[in-house]
Structures are given as C-alpha cells and as structure tokens.
Structure 1
C-alpha cells in the first residue's frame, strides 16, 4: 500500500474552476473520506486521483511517485463505483477474475486470488451466480472483490453504499471498516453522508464549492471546526450556532444571549472574544454540550446553568432532544431519556463551555 499526496491541485472546465488549490496528504494505510454537499467537487477530485480527469495544475503523488501524466491503468489504483459496474453476463468468479485475465495472469494464480478475496468478503458460495441473482449488498461485495484482487497502492470508493437501503448501509459500513483494519489498505472514499465519514475515516476532508474547508481526524473536524460551514455540515443534529453579543464583565469577556422570556443569558467567554466587545458573534455548541443538570460532564472546567423554556421534546430511545429559543433561534440540547423535564415548562439546562467554539458571523471563520 502507498501514501497519497495532493499538492496545490486545480481543476478547471474552461473558465470554470471546480477544484481550487487542494492540498491533502494521507499516510500509507490511512482512510481518507472526501465529504461535502452535492456539487462540491469531491467526485471530481476522486476521478482526478484515478486519472479519469486531467488536472489543470498541481501534483498527485502515490507512494511518492508523481502520477499526473500516467494513464489510469498505470497508477496502481483500484476503484469501486456507486453503480457496481459488474458484467451481467459473467459469474461472480468471472467478474472478480476479469482484470487478471486481461493482464494474462496464469489461471492457477487467478483462482487462488479469487478464492482468497471471496473468503475475505464471505462470498464463496456466490462465485457461480450471475449479478442478477444477487442482492444489492452482495453485488457491492463483488465490486469490492474485483478491486481487492488487484492489490493496488490505493483503493478509491465512489459513494459505494448510496444505492443500498438504510440497514444494509450500516451493515456494509461495518464490513468496510473491518476490511480496512484487516488489510491495512490506503483508501480514498467519497460520500455525502457525514455519518459514514465520521465512522470510517482516519482523516476527513470537507469540501465546499471546490475549496477544501478543513482536513483532519474525525475528532478534530467534529470538535474544532474552522468555520460555520464545517460546524453545521458535520454532526447530526448539527452544531447550534447561537447569536450572541460580545461584552466585557468584571471577570473578563462575556457573551449575552437573548431569551424569549426573562433577562438575557450571560456566559463567560474566551479572551479572544474581547476584541469583539459590543459586536455580534456566534456561539457554537453541540447538542450534547447542552443537557440537564444531572447529565452534565463532571470533569468539565466551565459548566453554566440557566433556566430555559422547553418548546419541544423529542424522545429518541437512549436520549431525549429538547428545543429552546436562544438568541432568536431554535437551539437543540440532548438530555437523559428519563430527565424530569416537560414540554412547555421552564427547566434548568447545563451548558458545557469547555466544548464552546466562537465564530465571526460575517466571515463564518472561527474566533476561539
């Protein structure tokens, strides 16, 4: 397996720039997930790595070797497509072995490779079936088998689970994670599903409008988003972005947040907020950082409590989500399932400010 380096990559169609100065590195054996909304350029980037799209500028290196000018067949990559792309007239065995047959690999070697991959993917009993006789999940395993049998430097996955139903997606996600752990393969994986990104990746790259917004581990992307786009895109429910007024109190900077009823909620703020005194900012808090008093993190350094009117309660089994109005916006908190809180009444909520991030409302960039 090989590392992957993308250095100052640009891609244009005529005057339209679809990828702009992309810089990403993934180590040998890493799992890079490209994520972002439709049209953000993630599939174009994957196709550029594969050699299916010519790049306008920059470099792509696989295992330290520049591959810009190499044909797809010479880049030592294997791709798994959203549509499976299986040959309908061939058996599973034939589909998996086809690439090796084209490369004139001896039959005994082909048979051994097919058996090894089929065992790994648990599809030994499907080898003599045609694709039309398989379920969606089984077809996806065959498509993965055809890629695995090549033992390339880098595997490329283009939204491989998007055609599967919800339960099968979860099952296949687990299988791909196990497969990565067993093989130690270098993988680049495109998805629009941020849950897939969080669960599979060792590194996530978030794109918007052809621009790389942030690249980092799932924990870095989730806990320390660099701007409001990343904060809202990653996480379900997404991060609360609460309008607040920056001020200065006797003990340092403060955030004042309007409440529908009663006085504003005043919270301590990081020192960086002092430069914004008298101006509006956005306070970012994940739902789990707003909870009932009993569920508050006892190890947190700064937890503030306040009475809030609970507008909506949504039980979800293990947790209950609540909605309250702060700063003129619906703000979601995550409570214990048995928290003694009622819809339409005031309740004491705990705010874990260790988890707070602050953004500039105009640029969307992070302040603190």
Structure 2
C-alpha cells in the first residue's frame, strides 16, 4: 500500500475548468471518500488518479513517485466500477483471475489467490457461475474480488453501491468497512451519499463546483463544518440554519435574537462568551445547530426559545419535531417517547457547546 498526494490538480475541457486546484494528502492505509453533489468533479478526479483521464495541471503522487504520465497499467491501482464491468462470458473465477493471467501469474498462484479472495468475500460457492446468474450484491463482490486479488498500492471505488437496493447498500457498506479494517488498504472512494461517506471514511473531502470545500475526519466535517455548504450537505437530517441577530457578546455573556413562536423576536441568553462574535454585535449571522442538539425544555431557562410544534415524524428510534424559526423550517431529533404533538407550544433549548455560527454574506464559519 502507499500514500496519495494531489498537489494543485486541475482539469480543463477547453476553456472550462472543472477542477480548480485540488490539494489532498492521505497516508498509507487511509480511506478517503470524495463526496459531493452530481457534477462537482469527484469522478473526474478519480479517473485522473487512475490514468483514465489526463491532468491539465498539478501533480499526482503515489508514495514518492509522480504518476502524471504513467499508463494506467503501470500505476499499480485497482478500480471497482459502478457498472461492475464483469465479462459476461466468463465464470466468476475467470473474471477474478483475468488480470492475473494478463500478468502471466503462474496457475498455482492464481488458484491460491482466487481461493483466498473468494473466502474473504464469501463467494466460494459462486466461482463456477457466470455474472448473469448472480444478484447485484454478488456481482459487486466479484468486482471487488477482481480488484483485491491484485494487491495493488491503491484501490479506487467509483460509486460501487449506487445500483443496489437500500438494504443491500447497508450490508455492502459493512463488508467494505470490514475489508478495509482487515487489509489496512489505501482506498479512494467516490459517492454522492453522505451516509456512505460518514460510515466508511477515515478522511472526507467534501467537493462542490470543482473545489474541495473541506478535508477532514468524519467527526471534523460533521461537528466543525467549514461553511454553510458543508453544514447542510453532511448529516441526515442536515444541520438547521436560520438567522440570529447578535445582541451582545463579551467574555461572560452572549445574547442572540431569534424569531420564534408566531415570528416574535426572542432573546436567547447564554452565561458564557463567544469571543468570535465580538465584531458581529448588532449584525445578523446564520446560526447552525444539528437536530440532535435541540432538546425540549418544558420549564424554559437559559438558552431556551419558545416555539410552536408544526409537525412530528415518529421514526421508531426517534421522533423528528419540526418548527419554524426566523422563517426557516427547523428539525429537532427527540426521543421516541417525546410527548409533543402539532400545535403544542414549548421551549426548545440549543446545546451551546454545539452551536455553529456562519457569516451570512460569505457562508464561512465564524464559530
């Protein structure tokens, strides 16, 4: 396995720049997930690492070696495609071993590797079948087996679970996670599904419009989003964002004016200072709070806001309680036994340790 470094990597199609200077570095054994909406450039970047697309500017390094001009076959990379790309006229065993045959690996060694990989993926009983006789999940395992059997420096996965149903996606996520833990492999994985990103990655690169908005661990990206795009893209339900006017902020006190029940302006007070807000007193900022950091406080108190319950959505494990704040829909994740119903008026409390504040003009994080 090896580390991967992207230095100011750019991609242009004519006058259009689709990747605008990507800087990413991961260590040997890291699981990097490139996540973002359709058209953000994540698959283009993966293809450039693989050598399937050319690099307009910048350098791609595997370990200490620059691979910009290397042929894909010489990069020691294995790729798992969204479409599986299996040979329909070959058996599972032949599909897995095809790359080994092209490299003239001796037959006894090929058979040993097929046995090891098929046991790891629990597909030994499928080795004599052809792809047309397999389910989607089984085909995905075969595609993974074909990559694993090569023991490359880096594995590349291009939305490998997008063709599977919801239950199978969850199962295969677990299999890929288990595989990474067992092999300690270096993996770059592309998805538009932020749940996949959060559950699989050791590092996440959140992309938008050909740029990396934030690079960090899942916890860093979730708890400390760099801007409002990352805040609302990562998490399900996403982070709530609504306007709050900074009434006061010094070393001992913070006061935020928020429009709660019936649009009435209310002041939420905290007996602690948010020093980052000192220059924003008298101005309106975007306040971000995760649904799980909102609680129901029947008696009111510090840091509470009077709200009217608009909708409740029981999910089994939790109940989502929806209200309106500053004209925006806000979702609170409450316990399953939360005794709230539409029309109730109650106090919501925001965990002050988890409040995130953004500049309303730039979208960049303040606190």
CA contact (8 A) 2:303 2:349 kept: yes
Q: Which residues of 2 match residues 25-64 of structure 1 at below 5 A?
A: 25-64=25-64
CA contact (8 A) 1:8 1:58 kept: yes
SS in 1 for 2:309: strand
State the superposition RMSD in angstroms: 1.6
> Following TM superposition, by how much is the alpha carbon of 1:247 offset from its aligned partner in structure 2, in angstroms?
1.9
CA contact (8 A) 1:247 1:274 kept: no
Q: 1:342 matched to which residue of 2?
A: 341
> Following TM superposition, by how much is the alpha carbon of 1:280 offset from its aligned partner in structure 2, in angstroms?
1.3
> Following TM superposition, by how much is the alpha carbon of 1:303 offset from its aligned partner in structure 2, in angstroms?
6.4
Which consecutive aligned stretches of 4+ in structure 1 deviate over 6 angstroms post-superposition? none
CA contact (8 A) 2:260 2:306 kept: no
**TM-score (normalizing by structure 1):** 0.95
Distance 1:159 1:83 in 2: 9
Matched residue pairs, number? 362
> Following TM superposition, by how much is the alpha carbon of 1:356 offset from its aligned partner in structure 2, in angstroms?
0.6
Q: Which residues of 2 match residues 317-356 of structure 1 at below 5 A?
A: 317-356=316-355
CA contact (8 A) 1:260 1:328 kept: no
Q: Which runs of no fewer than 5 residues in structure 2 stay unpaired?
A: none
TM-aligned CA distance change 1:335 to 1:71, over 3 Å: same
Q: 1:281 matched to which residue of 2?
A: 285
Q: 1:264 matched to which residue of 2?
A: 266
> Following TM superposition, by how much is the alpha carbon of 1:71 offset from its aligned partner in structure 2, in angstroms?
0.6
CA contact (8 A) 2:312 2:319 kept: yes
SS in 2 for 1:338: coil
Q: 1:182 matched to which residue of 2?
A: 182
> Following TM superposition, by how much is the alpha carbon of 1:260 offset from its aligned partner in structure 2, in angstroms?
3.5
Q: 2:71 matched to which residue of 1?
A: 71
> Following TM superposition, by how much is the alpha carbon of 1:322 offset from its aligned partner in structure 2, in angstroms?
0.5
Q: Which runs of no fewer than 5 residues in structure 1 stay unpaired?
A: 295-301
Q: 2:12 matched to which residue of 1?
A: 12
Q: What's the CA shift string for 1:327-359, capped at 9, x where partnerless?
A: 111111111111222221112222101101100
CA contact (8 A) 1:303 1:354 kept: no
Distance 2:151 2:265 in 1: 64
Distance 2:125 2:249 in 1: 71
CA contact (8 A) 1:36 1:191 kept: yes
> Following TM superposition, by how much is the alpha carbon of 1:291 offset from its aligned partner in structure 2, in angstroms?
1.7
